[in-house]
Amino acid sequence: MYLIVGLGNPGRQYEKTRHNMGFDTIDALIEKWNVPQGGVKFNGMYGKTVVGSEKVILMKPLSYMNLSGGPVQEMANFFKIDLETELIVIYDDIDLEPGQLRIRKRGSAGGHNGMKDIIRRLGTEKFCRIKVGVGAKPQGWDLADYVLGRFSAEERKGIDEAIEDAADAVEMIVKNGVDAAMNQYNKKKA
């Protein structure tokens, strides 16, 4: 069974912001796989489906980004998720060019507060993550203002493609393993 978590902030004011790449990818997966809403459990919206032969839970923590660890920990414990092989976390990354994906089997939080909280609560960095590039903040900008801002219409097209790529990468991980997805998606966009 896989637990696929998309990070973001709940509420209309945060929809389609740079910080909600995880939520947007979960929404793309819900549409792609036609996943029914399961409700709210452990302060996270979730839905269940089967992909190939694997049971999958899609989750959006409702605790706001910086407190994502609690809902993820509780959901993983409840469903007895093997963190190293069955957890996938999707989130934004300012160190990657807009639309660039980076899939890793483990790693630090890299300054991302949502990931810091998840790593702290889970007690490990050994779990799969898909980072969706949103680009570096412009000089002189406040980081919070930047990540809570929206993309320009021109940027949005590439970002929408990246969200679809991230959803496809999740499906590849579930069906073929993380190494196959890393080989396919961890390359520079042309």
Residues sharing a CB contact under 8 Å with residue 162, sequence separation 6 or more, in sequence order: 21, 98, 99, 100, 101, 132, 133
Measure Cα distances from 88 to 137, 144, 168, 178 in Å.
26, 25, 13, 10
One-character DSSP codes across 52-105: TTEEEEEEEESS-GGGTHHHHHHHHHHTT--HHHHEEEEEEETTS-TT-EEEES
Catalytic residue status for 112? no
* Catalytic residue selected from 18, 19, 60, 112: 19
> How many other CB atoms are found less than 10 A from the CB of residue 181?
24
Both structure tokens of 145:
């203002």
> How far does CA 102 lie from the centroid of its chain?
11
Instruction: Tokens 């970002």: give the residue.
Output: 159
Please identify every residue annotated as catalytic. 19
